């Protein structure tokens, strides 16, 4: 008896060692290698996906929107034959440390096949190295900072960067309004508005537009009248602003009060329905580039809009659309290799090309970023319309 | 353009002044620094917005209610953070720390009630329109803010200087024990002083939220340092000094933007504070080694 239990213990520890070896190869749980390819792919066990979203804290409004987008995508995917998904959404509380914890639990043994998120670039920079180390593919769905995908070859992104959107925004505005002379304002105590400003500045430098003044503010400022009065002095054809939504609303309102009626061109921070809801008439003439055209008549998009409002009783925003597209891209990669193993997904993600999504046709480029066309919007009659 | 900037400075400066006067009133009379004052500033902005949003009442009816809320908060601050500690040898510091803690509690309650997002008055809450003053664009709301601030400040100065309550306050400021011997209810006067101070801070908060049409949980922290700078520039405890100090700070900020550069704004404002401390340590209207209301 004694001898037998010792053997059993030995066998168990051998099994544990083997299991540990398996972990080092970065394998996810379950039998997730299937047969077939694309639509014909059949995988026996559900493929597990983890999402780290900011469901509470400062970025909660974005994270909750993403959660809805993912839930909708999950429901749609699980209706299709062949592959099913098991999605676990965890809250990073808009806290970088919590983001690391969530990534650790996703990456560990019995972890997931791929990770979506986190919501904010700040958290992404801290958490992604853990997934890279463990060999878990990550798909970023909302991060716009540069350098996100440079952290490793397992990191992919379906959201457009500021570097991709801003030049298109500026060029479209120059064409539409014949800009000759602009004033640039940006908050210089925030990493993202600062990097947004740098892209604006570089784009303007390469154009014929003259920048007659560059003014800075703090991300906590709410009174912009002194700055705007100064901006008004040079009689610009447009204001170009890199700021977060908290600054955007009072800035736009006060600009209109001071009689500045020219277009106001914003960075990603302006891409928020709150600008129209709370800015009211003052928001008219605000130009902002976006990764998702809510008015697109792409059939995937119209179906998405309809399903989303039916399910949640409200219209989706860009965060929901990008989250939806993110899970669809993972499905495309899983089916392409017909495998839910981490390395297979990573290989297949790199090969995603001209894949139709609600955002448009997505191609993952050599930097593991996404190439798809941005849409330049202008606020007209209380809604975002395509600038032409 | 200079007129426009001057007016911008006066409007923002008058709000700084109203905030700082509440600060300096408690400091001048009671020798206590109430660091829960910024939390009252933020609380009144959020509650003011909710009143207008929920009941659809005019902002001009909401303002007195906000002042009342401020007064109640002032009584609570006095009762919770200052009165239990008043007989300690280190009552000044103990009260200061306790008021920081109470301010933190108030902000946490606000976050629980309203969340972390920026809140705004619903569209159409204010009279719309702008008027031209010497070639500068001024909104009607800004003019009303200036008028309300000035009326409150002049009223307070008169009350402290001339009324019976003001005389009692000054008696306590001079010598609390002697005042008590003369039959003044020191606890009551102290509580009233806190109530008035916080009511002014509350009105300042609501006016600030109207001026920029936004209220954030951090709005009190942002103005706190400026308020301290204003009462130091004006002279600790001097009401007129706080008014002048507020206007100087507001105007200094806008002219820094105009003539030096927007990045230098806070640097110039606080360098001004330093300069005044070096040249005139008691502040512009402060008196050396005396307490004044």
Which residue out of A60, A193, A226, A258 would a mutagenesis test of the B interface target, given it has the greatest number of B Cβ atoms within 10 Å? A226
pTM: 0.77
Tokens describing residue A77:
């995917």
**Record: contact B263-A216, CB cut-off 8 A:** yes
A229 and B CB contact within 8 Å: yes
**Record: contact B117-A61, CB cut-off 8 A:** yes
Of A7-16, A96-105, B179-188, highest mean pLDDT: A96-105
**Record: contact B1-A217, CB cut-off 8 A:** no
Interface of B to A at Cβ within 8 Å reads 1, 4-5, 8-9, 11-12, 116-118, 120, 123, 130, 137, 139, 211-214, 216, 218-219, 222, 253-254, 257-258, 262-263, 265-266
Instruction: Please write the tens of the pLDDT for every residue from A282-328.
Output: 899 999 999 998 888 899 999 999 999 999 998 898 999 999 999 99
Tokens describing residue A359:
């955002």
Partners of residue A218 in chain B, C-beta under 8 Å: 266
A223 and B CB contact within 8 Å: yes
Best CA proximity match to B72, nearest among B256, B164, B186, B196: B196
> Could you tell me how many CB contacts below 8 A there are between chain A and chain B?
71
Query: Would you say A49 and A85 are in contact if contact means Cβ atoms under 8 Å apart?
Result: yes
b vs e for A181-202, b when ≥16 Cβ sit within 10 Å of the residue's Cβ? ebbbbbbbebebbebbbbbbbe
pLDDT band at A52 (very low <50, low <70, confident <90, very high): very high
* B47 min Cα distance to partner chain A (Å): 18
Partners of residue B12 in chain A, C-beta under 8 Å: 223, 225
Residues A174, A167: Cα–Cα separation, whole Å:
11
3-class secondary-structure state, position A163: helix
Tokens describing residue A142:
């909302």
Partners of residue B135 in chain A, C-beta under 8 Å: none
**Record: contact B130-A229, CB cut-off 8 A:** no
pLDDT band at A28 (very low <50, low <70, confident <90, very high): low
Facing residues of A181 across strands? A210
Instruction: Please write the tens of the pLDDT for every residue from B65-82.
Output: 999 999 999 999 999 999
pLDDT at A12: 46
Kindly give the residue spans of alpha helices, DSSP state H, lying in B83-218: 91-114, 140-162, 164-174, 176-181, 186-212
Phi/psi at A74 (5° precision): -60, -45
Best CA proximity match to A107, nearest among A166, A172, A202, A27: A27
Partners of residue A60 in chain B, C-beta under 8 Å: 116
Tokens describing residue B54:
């929920």
Best CA proximity match to A103, nearest among A140, A143, A145: A140
pLDDT band at A18 (very low <50, low <70, confident <90, very high): very low
Best CA proximity match to B230, nearest among B14, B4, B6: B14
- Rounded to an integer, the average pLDDT of B12-17 is 91
Residues A88, A85: Cα–Cα separation, whole Å:
10
Q: Identify which has the larger pLDDT, B263 or A135.
A: A135
pLDDT at A86: 95
What radius of gyration, in Å, describes the C-alpha atoms of chain B? 19
pLDDT at A50: 96
Give every CB contact of residue A271 below 8 A, 6+ residues apart in sequence.
Answer: A288, A289, A290, A318, A377
């Amino acid at each position: 008896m004694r001898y037998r239990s010792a053997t059993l213990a030995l066998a168990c520890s051998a099994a544990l060692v083997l299991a540990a070896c398996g972990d080092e190869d970065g394998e996810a749980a379950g039998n997730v290698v299937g047969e077939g390819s694309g639509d014909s792919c059949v995988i026996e066990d559900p493929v597990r996906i983890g999402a780290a979203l900011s469901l509470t804290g400062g970025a909660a409004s974005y994270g909750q929107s993403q959660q809805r987008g993912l839930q909708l995508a999950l429901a749609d995917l699980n209706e299709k034959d062949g592959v099913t998904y098991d999605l676990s959404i965890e809250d990073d509380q808009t806290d970088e440390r919590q983001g690391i914890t969530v990534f650790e639990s996703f990456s560990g043994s019995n972890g997931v096949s791929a990770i979506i998120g986190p919501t904010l670039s700040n958290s992404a920079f801290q958490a992604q190295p853990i997934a890279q180390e463990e060999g878990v593919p990550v798909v970023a769905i909302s991060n716009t900072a540069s350098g996100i995908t440079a952290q490793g070859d397992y990191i992919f992104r379906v959201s457009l960067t500021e570097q991709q959107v801003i030049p298109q925004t500026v060029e479209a505005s120059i064409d539409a309004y014949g800009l000759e002379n602009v004033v640039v304002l940006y908050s210089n105590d925030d990493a993202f508005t600062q990097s947004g400003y740098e892209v604006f500045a570089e784009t303007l430098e390469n154009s014929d537009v003259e920048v007659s003044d560059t003014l800075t503010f703090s991300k906590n400022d709410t009174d912009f009248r002194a700055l705007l009065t100064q901006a008004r002095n040079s009689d610009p054809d447009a204001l170009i602003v890199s700021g977060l939504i908290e600054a955007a609303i009072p800035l736009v309102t006060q600009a209109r009060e001071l009689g500045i009626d020219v277009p106001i061109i914003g960075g990603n921070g302006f891409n928020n329905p709150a600008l129209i809801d709370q800015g009211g008439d003052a928001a008219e003439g605000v130009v902002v580039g976006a990764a998702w055209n809510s008015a697109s008549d792409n059939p995937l998009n119209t179906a998405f809009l309809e399903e989303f409002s039916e399910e949640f009783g409200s219209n989706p925003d860009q965060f929901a659309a990008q989250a939806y597209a993110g899970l669809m891209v993972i499905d495309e990669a899983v089916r392409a290799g017909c495998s839910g193993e981490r390395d297979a997904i990573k290989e297949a993600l790199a090969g995603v090309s001209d894949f139709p999504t609600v955002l448009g046709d997505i191609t993952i480029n050599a930097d593991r970023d996404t190439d798809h066309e941005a849409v330049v919007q202008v606020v007209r009659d209380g809604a975002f319309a395509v600038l032409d | 353009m200079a007129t426009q900037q001057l007016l911008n400075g006066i409007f923002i400066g008058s709000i700084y002044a109203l905030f700082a006067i509440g600060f300096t009133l408690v400091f001048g009379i009671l020798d206590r620094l109430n660091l829960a004052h910024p939390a009252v500033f933020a609380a009144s902005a959020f509650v003011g917005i909710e009143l207008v949003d929920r009941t659809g009442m005019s902002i001009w009816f909401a303002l007195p209610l906000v002042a009342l809320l401020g007064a109640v908060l002032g009584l609570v601050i006095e009762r919770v953070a200052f009165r239990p500690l008043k007989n300690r040898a280190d009552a000044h510091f103990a009260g200061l720390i306790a008021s920081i803690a109470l301010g933190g509690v108030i902000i946490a309650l606000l976050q629980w009630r309203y969340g972390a997002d920026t809140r705004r008055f619903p569209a159409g809450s204010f009279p719309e329109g702008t008027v031209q003053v010497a070639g500068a664009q001024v909104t009607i709301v800004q003019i009303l803010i200036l008028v309300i601030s000035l009326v409150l400040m002049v009223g307070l100065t008169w009350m402290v200087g001339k009324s019976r309550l003001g005389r009692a306050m000054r008696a306590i400021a001079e010598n609390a024990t002697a005042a008590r011997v003369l039959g003044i209810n020191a606890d009551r006067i102290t509580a009233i002083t806190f109530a008035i101070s916080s009511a002014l801070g509350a009105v300042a908060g609501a006016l600030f939220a109207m001026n920029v049409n936004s209220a954030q949980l951090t709005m009190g922290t942002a103005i706190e340092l400026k308020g301290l700078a204003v009462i130091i520039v004006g002279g600790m405890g001097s009401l007129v000094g706080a008014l002048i100090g507020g206007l100087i700070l507001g105007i200094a900020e806008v002219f820094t933007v105009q003539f030096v550069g927007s990045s230098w704004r806070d640097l110039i404002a606080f360098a001004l504070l330093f300069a005044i401390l070096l040249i005139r340590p008691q502040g512009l209207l402060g008196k050396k080694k005396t307490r004044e209301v």
